Structure 1
Amino acid sequence: MLAVDTGSGKTLVESTPDRLLPTASVGKIFLLHHLAELLEDDPSLGHLLLRKDSVAPVADSGLWQYLDVPALTLNDCARLVGSVSDNLATNVLLDHVGLTPVQAVAARLAPGGSMLHDSVRDVRTPEDPPMLSIGCAADWVSYFRTPHPTVMSWLAASTDLSMVSSAFGLDPLAHTEPDHELQVWSKTGTDDGVRAEVGLLDVGGRRAAYAVICRFEGEVVPVLGQMRAYGTLLLDALQDGYAAGPGPAQ
């Protein structure tokens, strides 16, 4: 399922954009958005120290589990979530702010039903929500038409450029310089049989919001190849428009 909006409501391509599918870590954006709104009201919250041992250890994506530092600021936890989808930082932040207000943000921002259902778990029991998050492409394209600027700052350093963004030719560890002709802000989600990327691409000031969410069986390599193909389509559309001058891409 996918949707790509190249500005002024013009759709480049879409397929079942309203279908809800598992989106793994993509739903962490709702947590980041809630934090960004809290910081609007009280910027000092960003300096609050949060301890990694306030929650149970959790594996897979992230860096904090490998670091010695026992506590990080709320801002730094959000940066870890945005840049490396840090599971431990996610759970520490959710423990601090609570899941309920984050879900209220999701209900407000995502009329199609996209939702963060739970904290990150190494093992899901029958009593737990069956998946971390669900989402539809329409919700995420809508979000990235007018994203929160603080959320964008946290997503700017995202290192996972393995999906749609693999077509953009960026250095995964260094692609945030504002003078670059091409910039991307994205969040990915990975789970067994799930690959998802949502975000915003800017080429010379021409922008497109996009969301590609895949549920599949079998090998992942063909799925990643198709996601890259959508990235190439998106990039070509914006580059053609950039070469032609100002105005929305066709």
Structure 2
Amino acid sequence: MGTSPEPFDTPPTQRPPQRATESLRGSRRSNRRLPRRAAVGRRSFASTLKALDELASSGARVAVHVADLDRGTVVLSGDDFLTHPVAGLGIVPLLIEVAASFEAGTLDPLEIIERSSVERVGVGGVWQHLKAPALPLSDLAVLAAATGDALAANALLQRVGLDAVRGRIETLGLKRSALLDQLRDTRGPDDAPHYALGTAGELAGVFGALVNSQIVSAGVSAQVAEWLSLNHDLSLVASATGLDPFSHENDEHGLLFVNKTGRDSGIRVEAGVLAGPRAGVSYALIVCFDDLSIAHRLRAHEAFRILGVDLMEYVF
């Protein structure tokens, strides 16, 4: 993102409401509504704007998109149309293709994949530490979604094919997103420079469409959202939710949360959906920064946490 004085655009929210979202959100949202006075200042995202402006001024590339799911309006955006590397977020279109293949019957969820058939990679995940030498495709999808397991993700990609995932991305209308390669420990001159690319606007849109049952079909949307709801990484935006990283599918306070993070050297990304008793939002934040020290990294992480706080105030 550039360092212009006003890099973020917060459009007016007083527009005619669109239809309320359904399915996953409908099952989690309570009928309780907060007093209208509690909404005063909820839509400013002033703290987030300040944190992201400071990051941009320090040389980081920042992109953000937040949309109100009930109203269908964008409440915060900045450089959300620019393509950036998104690291592990590339697993999301892969999971969509896998779920669509399960539903179509072209892929058997119980098909066993041998770990030895997949090129060794140790950048993240748990399968490399397990004794089980083989797992079914459905379990690999859970590992990829819940832990960002690189071996599991690569096994899924090897099975469905990179061309199929790219075709799915095109079918979904994602014009500025791409899955370029498999996950690797290191990238050489003959490898794609990144695992995946995307924009904040398109990432937020995908998550909004997932919880509204608009990705491929209601069944595929529900399956992918279920997998992603198991994600253990609640250290960025999600750190403000107070949810249990290992068990947050049925929050007792009626909070619906589905997310996926992406991490690489100098790259932090998160996209998801957060819905509470008052509102629901889809969001995405991309920060590409010089990872020169722990202080640089923590400053980037803090911006994600601040966005999380603002989002919690918005939905509650």
Task: Give me the TM-score of the superposition, normalised by structure 2.
Answer: 0.73
1:242: which partner in 2?
none
Instruction: State the match for 1:36 in structure 2.
Output: 99
Give the equivalent residue in structure 1 for 2:300.
Answer: 223
Task: Report Cα offsets for 1:23-79 as digits up to 9, x if no partner.
Answer: 001011011000111111128711111111111211021000000001111110000
1:127 aligns with 2:127: no
Q: Identify the residue that residue 160 of structure 2 maps to in structure 1.
A: 97
* In structure 2, distance between residues paired with 1:111 and 1:43: 24
Counterpart of 2:178 (choices 115, 123, 131) is 115
Counterparts of 1:3-14 in structure 2, within 5 Å, are 3-7=65-69, 8-14=71-77
Map Cα deviations across residues 77-110 of structure 1 (whole Å, 9 max, x no partner). Answer: 0000110010000111111111110111112224
Deviation at 1:178, TM superposition (A): 5.8
Query: Partners in 2 of 1:39 and 1:206 — Cα distance?
Result: 32
CA distance in structure 2 between the aligned counterparts of 1:42 and 1:202, rounded to whole angstroms = 33
Structure 1 runs (4+) greater than 6 angstroms displaced: none
1:53 to 96, 107, 116: 116
Distance 1:201 1:63 in 2: 27
Between the aligned partners of 1:122 and 1:60, the Cα distance in structure 2 is 6
Letter in 2 for 1:188: T
Question: 2:229·2:258 contact (CA, 8 Å) conserved in 1?
Answer: yes
Show the 5 A alignment for 1:22-33: 22-33=85-96
Structure 1 unaligned regions, length at least 5: 240-250
Q: Secondary structure at 2:307's aligned position in 1?
A: helix
Which residue of 234, 241, 246 maps to 1:161? 234
The residue type paired with residue 165 of structure 2 is V
User: 2:125 aligned with 1:62, yes or no?
Assistant: yes
Distance 1:175 1:56 in 2: 32
Tell me, what secondary structure is at the counterpart of 1:17?
coil
1:180 and 1:110, CA in 2 relative to 1: closer, same or farther beyond 3 A? farther
1:246 match: none
Sequence identity of aligned pairs in percent? 33
Whether the aligned pair in 2 keeps the contact of 1:107 and 1:113 (CA below 8 Å) is no
Query: RMSD value over aligned CA atoms?
Result: 1.5
Question: Residue type of the partner of 1:11?
Answer: V
Partner of 2:265: 192
2:310 is matched with which residue: 209, 213, 233? 233
Letter in 2 for 1:56: E
- 1:92-130, Cα deviation, whole Å (9 max, x unpaired): 111111111011111222434111110011121111100
Quick check: 2:279–2:314 contact (8 Å CA) kept in 1?
no
Q: Which runs of 5+ in 2 are unaligned?
A: 1-62, 211-220
Secondary structure of the residue that 2:269 maps to in structure 1? strand
Instruction: State whether residues 112 and 138 of structure 1, in contact with CA within 8 Å, keep that contact through their aligned partners in structure 2.
Output: no
Moved more, 175-184 or 120-129: 175-184
Distance 1:21 1:4 in 2: 17
Whether the 8 Å contact between 1:82 and 1:158 is mirrored in structure 2 is yes
Q: Secondary structure at the match of 1:45?
A: coil
**How far apart are the structure 2 equivalents of 1:32 and 1:113?**
18
- Which amino acid in 1 is paired with 2:306? A
Larger radius of gyration: 2
CA distance in 1, matches of 2:311, 2:173: 23
Q: Does 2:213 match 1:152?
A: no
TM-score, normalising length: structure 1:
0.92
